[in-house]
Amino acid sequence: MGIVGAGPAGLMLGQLLHLQGIDSVILENRSRQYVVERVRAGVLEQGTVDLMRDVGVGGRLAREGMRHDGLYLAFGGARHHVDMSQLTGGRAITIYGQNEVVHDLIETRLETGRPLHFEVADVALDGLDSRRPVVRFTKDGAAHEIKCDVIAGCDGFHGICRPSIPASHLQTYERVYPFAWLGILAEAAPSSDELVYSLHERGFALFSMRSPHITRLYLQCAPDEDVSAWSDDRIWAELRTRLTTTDGWQPNEGRIIQKGVTGMRSFVAEPMRYGRLFLAGDAAHIVPPTGAKGLNLAMADVYRLAAALVEYYRSGREDLLDAYSSRALLRTWRAQRFSWWMTSMLHRGDSDNPFDHRRQLAELEYLVSSRAAMTSLAESYTGAPFEA
């Protein structure tokens, strides 16, 4: 197996295959340090937590991950609690940074002694519609070629695998939102035990965390927002305005240790396969971060793909491989629907007028007063169990 990309998708796939004795080579164009330090989301569905544990990578996650049984929706000056565990028969989410997930998966991969090459260049695919597809790359100036049975494209949205598929074989669907998130990490103890998603007239804000000492916060901003225009004081003032509720709750403040802007996009490429190339994770689909589905979708994809590959290597049967794309797309579109819904319910749109704001408030008010509506949110947020 050739695996392009050492993000959560590629690394987890490598581990799932390793446990079944299937050889793989993972190729990553960035450095190990870059991959581990890249700050991303941090909400793990129950399925992701279970998978990490089942593949033997869940030790630190079990110790340091923060299990959350619910979340808060804030609007009209009040915080409303959604008890997700109670509504879903015990499903919860766990806060654990994606970069920690990647860190743990890399350590495990290195312990297996199986190949994981960082800082490779010129990665290119060939013979995808043959039985012997090839990955070419250069490392330290020397050219290499790997003849594979199958190639997994786990190289994210900007990778080379999806563009290696002839355009005539791919249908893409896309929505780019007219806003982005300005995100910070602050040295401050979280002032709420669970996440707070807030709708405010000035735009969306989100309270999250990484550890008992680190708070993670986001503000809706312009897609081309210039971070340098945001002094620490300005960020805190805006967060206080958008998050403080009438009971006096607000985030604790502290030294800001990281700032960045995250764009918002919904994207799906269909099918998630061309010949012997299978796409997984961000290489095939992107969701806006509201609802935190990106990492979890990537994990659900590779769980399904690994099961199909194990069946193929064991019996030669290709029916699970043939079903991979359509089955994975079902879950993907469900997550797209949910992420789009959360995003549109909580953000201020470009052309929104006061009617739209009142409509959003009505939707949130309905949501927190209807057990059926809250159950629907809780089911999607905590995520369905992964399927082979």
Active site residues: 68, 197, 289, 293, 381
Pairwise CA distance, residues 128 & 275, whole Å: 6
Dump the DSSP string for 303-320.
HHHHHHHHHHHHH---HH
Q: Which of 27, 52, 221, 328 binds ligand APR (CB under 6 A)?
A: 27
Q: Which of residues 159-178 bind ligand PHB (CB under 6 A)?
A: none
Backbone φ and ψ of 373, nearest 5°? -65, -40
**Selection from 199, 207, 210, 195 nearest residue 70 by Cα:** 195
Residue choice 1, 2, 3, 8 for contact with ligand APR (CB under 6 A): 8
Tokens of 30: 């960035």
At position 258, the amino acid (one-letter code) is Q
The size of the interface with ligand PHB (CB under 6 A), counted in residues, is 11
Q: What is the closest distance, in whole angstroms, from the C-beta atom of residue 28 to ligand APR in the complex?
A: 5
Nearest to 210 by CA among 23, 371, 40: 40
8 Å CB contact between 386 and 304: yes
Any contact of residue 10 with ligand PHB (CB under 6 A)? no
Asked if 45 interacts with ligand APR (CB under 6 A), we say no
Q: Which of 42, 97, 159, 190 is in the footprint of ligand APR by CB under 6 A?
A: 159
CB half-sphere exposure, 262, CA atoms < 13 A: 24
302 lines the binding site for ligand PHB (CB under 6 A):
no
Beta bridge partners of 186: 215, 256
CB of 342 to ligand APR, least distance (A): 15
* Cβ proximity to ligand PHB, 312 vs 340, nearer residue: 340
Measured CA to CA, the distance from residue 74 to residue 72 in angstroms comes to: 6
In the region spanning residues 271 to 310, those forming contacts with ligand APR, defined by CB under 6 A, are 281-282, 294-295, 298
Binding site partner of 105, from ligand PHB, ligand APR, none, Cβ cut-off 5-8 A by kind: none
Residue 318, number of CB atoms within 10 A of its CB: 12
Q: Which residues bind ligand PHB (CB under 6 A)?
A: 41-43, 195, 206, 208, 216, 289-292
Q: Which residues bind ligand APR (CB under 6 A)?
A: 4-10, 27-30, 35, 40-41, 98, 123, 154-156, 158-160, 281-282, 294-295, 298
